[in-house]
């Protein structure tokens, strides 16, 4: 074999294996359906009668497959869709030559079968899909999207806990509360910019409240330590809440008062949010695949 061709082949196989490793881990039954092309029992799937607005995605790889407006009630016992998101669903003739299988165009995971000519809808098409082959992401009401910023020592550990809270849409680590424009990590660590290492949290207030997030903030660091957190010492590691409005400020003040009544000498500062500077890429989601933080430990402080 040509050596160059051999090298390209090795690279291709390696890339395919790496891509496979990114797929979601499946249960035994999910593998039976998605990998081995099995079928779940009719009327048993969680999405058969599902009517919420949002996007249906591939269980194995996360590819967006169907919109909620594509879904209709065919009374067949499985979720039915009369359309798909363009380019996401692949059709494969069954070996028996009678039916047409549908698979995820990205990972080839088995979804179900497609049927034409049944006249259920004007599109005259039915994607008959196993609930176990898909996940669902609800539509986000942009009016309910809110932002919060917290500083509690090394931003790696702060993000680790806050991003796991249900209702949190995204998190970013960065710098806030200083006077230098667009500071670097090295500059912040020098202690000369006035910034704190912090985490910006974008969340859906229909699912999680600001108070719930603030409680987790207090419960995952020691708010009694001044300008430090564990072994990390310096003003950039201070405990501080950067509020965006009076409601957030009052919630934070109330939680601090509760902790003080419990005997905690809270030194957490409250400041009006200023410009949040996004940190370098290598700091984002730092603890993904790296275990737990070395300086942040969860400790319940607010009771039930």
Active-site hit among 58, 107, 154, 295 = 154
Query: Do residues 82 and 120 share a domain?
Result: yes
Q: Are residues 133 and 177 in the same domain?
A: no
The pLDDT value given to residue 200: 97
262 lies in which domain range? 142-283
pLDDT at residue 17, as a whole number: 47
pLDDT band at 205 (very low <50, low <70, confident <90, very high): very high
* Structural domain total, the chain: 2
199 with 272, same domain? yes
Asked if residue 122 belongs to a domain, the reply is yes
* Whether residue 170 is found in the same domain as residue 45: no
Read off the pLDDT of each residue in 4-16 and give the average, rounded to a whole number. Answer: 53
Residues 169-180: what's their mean pLDDT? 95
Average the pLDDT over each of 8-17, 70-79, 91-100 and give the range with the smallest value: 8-17
pLDDT for 6: 54
Residues 213, 99 within the same domain = no
Question: Is 53 among the domain residues?
Answer: yes
Q: Which of 138, 162, 182 is the last residue of a domain?
A: 138
148 with 113, same domain: the answer is no
- Does the structure show a pLDDT above 70 at 223? yes
* 53-89 residue pLDDT tens: 899 999 999 999 999 999 999 999 999 999 999 999 9
pLDDT-based confidence at residue 138 (cuts at 50, 70, 90)? confident
Instruction: Please check the confidence at residue 8 and state whether its pLDDT lies above 60.
Output: no
Tens digits of residue pLDDT in 273-303: 999 999 999 999 999 888 888 889 999 999 7
Band of the pLDDT at 185, cuts 50, 70, 90? very high
Same domain for 106 and 189, yes or no, is no
- Check residue 178 and give its pLDDT: 96
Do residues 148 and 255 make contact, with C-beta atoms less than 8 angstroms apart? no
**pLDDT score of 44:** 93
- The reply to whether 107 belongs to the active site is no
The reported pTM is 0.61
The residue with greater pLDDT, 201 or 142, is 201
For residue 251, the domain's CATH number is: 3.30.1060.10
Average pLDDT score over the chain:
91
Q: Flag whether pLDDT at 244 surpasses 70.
A: yes
Known catalytic membership, residue 154: yes
Averaged pLDDT for residues 148-157: 96
Q: CATH no. for residue 33?
A: 2.170.150.20
Residue tagged active-site, from 107, 128, 189, 295: 128
Q: How confident is the model at residue 21 (pLDDT cuts 50, 70, 90)?
A: very low
Q: Is the dihedral of CA 197, 156, 187, 169 positive or negative?
A: negative
Q: pLDDT > 70: what percent of the chain? A: 92
Which positions ≥6 away from 158 have C-beta within 8 Å? 150, 151, 152, 173, 197, 198, 199, 217, 220, 221, 296
């Amino acid at each position: 074999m040509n050596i160059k061709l051999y090298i390209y082949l090795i690279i291709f196989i390696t890339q395919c294996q790496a891509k496979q490793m990114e797929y979601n881990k499946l249960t035994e039954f999910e593998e039976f359906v998605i990998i081995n092309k099995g079928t779940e029992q009719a009327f048993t799937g969680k999405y058969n009668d599902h009517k919420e607005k949002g996007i249906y995605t591939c269980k194995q790889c996360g590819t967006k497959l169907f919109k909620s407006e594509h879904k209709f009630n065919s009374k067949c016992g499985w979720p039915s869709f009369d359309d798909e998101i363009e380019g996401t669903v692949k059709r494969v003739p069954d070996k028996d030559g009678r039916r047409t299988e549908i698979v995820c165009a990205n990972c080839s995971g088995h979804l179900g079968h497609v049927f034409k000519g049944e006249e259920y809808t004007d599109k005259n098409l039915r994607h008959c899909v196993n609930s176990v082959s898909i996940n669902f992401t609800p539509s986000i009401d942009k009016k309910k999207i809110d932002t919060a910023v917290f500083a509690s020592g090394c931003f790696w550990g702060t993000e680790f806990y806050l991003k796991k809270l249900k209702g949190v849409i995204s998190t970013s680590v960065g710098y806030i509360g200083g006077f230098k424009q667009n500071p670097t990590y090295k500059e912040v660590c020098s202690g000369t910019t006035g910034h704190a290492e912090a985490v910006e949290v974008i969340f859906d207030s229909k699912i999680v409240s600001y108070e719930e997030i603030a409680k987790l903030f207090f419960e995952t660091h020691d708010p009694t330590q001044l300008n430090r957190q564990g072994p990390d010492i310096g003003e950039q590691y201070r405990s501080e809440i950067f509020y965006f409005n009076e409601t957030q400020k009052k919630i934070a003040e109330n939680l601090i008062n509760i902790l003080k009544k419990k005997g905690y000498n809270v030194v957490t500062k409250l400041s009006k949010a200023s410009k949040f500077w996004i940190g370098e890429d290598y700091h984002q989601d730092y603890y993904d695949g790296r275990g737990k933080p070395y300086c942040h430990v969860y400790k319940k402080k607010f009771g039930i």
